[in-house]
Amino acid sequence: MPGPADFRILASVSAPSPASPGPFDRAAIVVFDSAGCGDAPDAAEFGDLGANTLGHIHERVGLKVPNLARLGWRRILPLGDGEVVGAWGRMRERSRGKDTTTGHWEIAGALLEQPFPTYPDGFPPEVILPFERVCGKPVLWNRVASGTEILDRLGDEHVRTGRPIVYTSADSVFQVATHEDVVPLETLHAWCRAAREILRGPHEVGRVIARPFVGRDGRYERTANRRDFSVLPPDGCLPQVLADAGLAVVAVGKIEDIFAGRGITEAVHTKDNAEGARLTADYLRRGPRRGLIFTNLVDFDTKHGHRNDVEGYARCLEEADRQIVPVLEALGERDLLVITADHGNDPTDPSTDHSRELVPLVAYHRRIRPVDLGLRPTFADLGQTVAANFGLRVANGESFLGEVS
C-alpha cells in the first residue's frame, strides 16, 4: 500500500480470528471532523444553544454536495428532493465533552462520565515548571489562543529565543508550537511526550498536540507534521476489541493518535482530506480482507471551523463530496461504509471553539435499502454495530446492524 513515509505496521493480525462472520467482511468509518448537524438537547450547558455547523453553512452559502445528499444527507439537511440510496440518521453524544478524543472514543463505544480538564486561565505551575525544565527554557504565552493568531503574535519571539509557545483552547488540550528550523521535530515530539507524562492525575488532558510551523518575519503557517499524544482509551473500545479478535484495524489520519495506538494494527498519517480519502479507497481496493478501516478527515475543523471560515468550510465539504466517489467505487460486495462526525464547530458562531451538536449518520453498502435510523441516543451505537457484525461487543451502545443489513 503506497503512502507517506510514516506508514507503519503496528501489530500482527495473522492469528486465526475467533470473530464470527457477519453480513460484512469490512467496515469503513469516515469521520468528517467537526461536521455537526444541529445543537444537541444539552447544548445550552456547553454554551452552544443554536449551533448548527452544516445547517448554518448551507443557509449562508448553499452547499452543493450531490453525492452526500444521495447517500442520505438530504434527509438530514434541506438539500432538496431526490433519490436516497443509503441509511440515514443522527447521533447524540452522551459523554461529557465536545472534543475530538471524546467524540471518537464514544464512536468506538467508550462513554466518559467526567470531561477532560480544561484550562481557560492557562496551566498551573505544577504543570508548567516541570515542562520548562524539560525544555530548558521558559515557555511563551500559557493561555488560551487561536493556533493561527498565536503565531502572528509570538512567532518572531519564538524564532529569536527558541522558547516554546504553549497554549490551550476551550478543549482539553496542551499545545506546543515551535518552528521546524528552530526546534527539530524529534525534539518537539520528545517535549510533547514529556508533557504527556507530566499531565497525569487531575491534569490529564485529552491530548498533547505538537504544532510545528514554518515561515519567517511575521509570516508563519502551520505544517502537516502535527502529532497528537492522547491518553490511553479505556477497555472495551472498538479498535482493541476487533484487534483482540484477530481482525485488522487500519487507522487513516490522526486515528492512531486519538487511540494512542491501542488496537491499531496498521496506521498511516495524512497531510489533508484528499490524501485521507485516497488512502481509504486504496485500502478498500487492496486490503485488509476482514476488519475496520477508520479514517479521520480533519481539514473541516482545523482549516475552517476554528477560523470561522464559512466559505472555506463549504468548499471543503464540496471537495469531500467529490473525494468520496472513489471510496464508493472501491466498496466490495461485503463492505459497509459509514460517514459521520465527532462534534460540531459552527463557523458562523463568534466562538472559534467546538460546539455541542448532533452528528450526521449515513450508512451504505451495495445491497442496502434506504431506511431512517432515527436519532441514536449515543455515538456508541455505531461502534456496537461494527462490533456486532463480527459477533463481538463494545462497552456501550445498541447495534443497528439489522436495520442496515
Cα angle 391, 87, 236 (rounded to 5 degrees) comes to 35
Closest CA to 16 of 264, 239, 245: 245
For residue 2, is it within any domain? Answer: no
Task: List the 335-340 sheet strands across, edge first.
Answer: 8-9, 266-268, 248-252, 291-297, 26-32, 335-340, 359-364, 87-91, 371-376
Flag whether 239 is in a domain.
yes
Matching residue, cell 527558541: 162
Same domain, 300 and 347: yes
Residue in 395, 90, 21, 363 with CA at minimum distance from that of residue 239: 395
pLDDT top residue among 6 and 314: 314
> In the listed set 201, 229, 257, which residue is the last one of a domain according to the structure?
229
Q: How far apart are CA 263 and CA 245, in angstroms?
A: 10
pTM for the predicted model, two decimal places: 0.88
* 225 lies in the same domain as 360: no
Give domain status of residue 315, yes or no.
yes
Structural domains in the chain (count): 2
Does one domain contain both 373 and 251? Answer: yes
Q: Is residue 120 part of a domain?
A: no
The pLDDT tens digits of the residues spanning 307-332 come to: 999 999 999 999 999 999 999 999 99
Q: How far lies 228's CA from each of 75, 188, 195, 256, 317, in Å?
A: 34, 12, 12, 9, 24
Q: Are residues 249 and 369 in the same domain?
A: yes
Distance in angstroms (rounded) separating the CA atoms of residues 298 and 257: 13
> Residue 173 belongs to what domain range?
125-229
Overall average pLDDT of the 83-95 stretch: 97
pLDDT at 228 over 50: yes
pLDDT band, residue 287 (cuts 50/70/90) = confident
Q: How confident is the model at residue 114 (pLDDT cuts 50, 70, 90)?
A: confident
pLDDT at 12 exceeding the cut of 80: no
Q: Report whether pLDDT(266) > 50.
A: yes
- Residue 215 above 60 pLDDT? yes
Question: Residues 363-400: pLDDT tens digits?
Answer: 999 999 999 999 999 999 999 999 999 999 999 999 99
CATH number of domain containing 356 = 3.40.720.10
Asked if residue 145 and residue 289 are part of one domain, the reply reads no
pLDDT band at 30; cut points 50, 70, 90: very high
Over the stretch 149-196, which tens digit does the pLDDT of each residue have? 899 999 999 999 999 999 998 889 999 999 999 999 999 999 999 999
> How many other C-beta atoms lie within 10 A of the C-beta of residue 234?
15
Same domain, 179 and 268: no
- Which pLDDT belongs to residue 18? 67
- Report the CATH number at residue 203: 3.30.70.1250
Answer with the one of 229, 253, 285 that is the final residue of a domain: 229
Shared domain for 391 and 265, answered yes or no, is: yes
- Mean pLDDT confidence for 131-157: 94
